[in-house]
Amino acid sequence: MEANVTLKKICDRFPDSVVETHSYRGDDTAVVKKDDILKICQFLRDDKELLYNFMMDLTAVDYLGTEPRFEIVYHLYSLQYNRRVRIKAKVSESDCSIDSIVSLWIAADWFEREAYDLYGIIFKGHPELKRILLYDGFEGHPLRKDYPIKKRQPLIGPTN
């Protein structure tokens, strides 16, 4: 099973950090503990047999009603081996933070800001964590499932 090399390698290397793995519809996925996200990502990027050099996508999902509530989803791509992997880390509402991976991939900068903006996830160590799609002063995080769809927050001119 050539496609599962990645999952096998991270399971061998970090047996305590990987919570579960699956390959639904051919998408290799590993759920990892959030405290180890940085070292797992570093391993995925630098290991000679993995070389995940692209941080393709980073987003969050709100599973309201479950605990931990949020999932941070990373999609990585290895140009060398033409492989993709999805890494997920669960984040609870009470400690809504995870280590930033900007130090590994500069591409994560804006993606993390977006996840912060829309979901309110704090990325520890991010150089400039502020809103990106919405304006400063917007209240709440609209992609959370408990944010009402019809709520309006008109921005009437700058306050300064």
Pick from 139, 102, 103: nearest CA to 120:
139
Is position 53 an interface residue for another protein (rule: CB under 8 A)?
Answer: yes
Token pair listed for 20? 């579960």
Is position 27 an interface residue for another protein (rule: CB under 8 A)?
Answer: yes
Is position 129 an interface residue for another protein (rule: CB under 8 A)?
Answer: no
At its nearest, how many Å lie between another protein and the CB of residue 131?
Answer: 8
Binding another protein by CB under 8 A: which of 4, 21, 23, 59? 59
At its nearest, how many Å lie between another protein and the CB of residue 5?
Answer: 17
Is position 31 an interface residue for another protein (rule: CB under 8 A)?
Answer: no
Is position 84 an interface residue for another protein (rule: CB under 8 A)?
Answer: yes
32's CB contacts (< 8 A; 6+ apart) are 10, 14, 17, 18, 19, 40, 87, 88, 89
Binding another protein by CB under 8 A: which of 24, 94, 139, 157? 24
SS (H, E, C) 105-134: CCCHHHHHHHHHHHHCCEEECCCCCCCCCC
Pick from 14, 11, 12, 13: nearest CA to 22:
11
Buried b (16+ CB within 10 A) or exposed e, 41-58: bebbbeeeebebeebeeb
At its nearest, how many Å lie between another protein and the CB of residue 99?
Answer: 18
Question: With respect to another protein, which residue has the nearer C-beta, 20 or 27?
Answer: 27
Binding-site ranges for another protein (CB under 8 A)? 24-25, 27, 29, 53-57, 59, 61, 73, 75, 79, 82, 84, 86, 105-107, 109-111, 114, 118, 131-135, 142-143, 147, 149
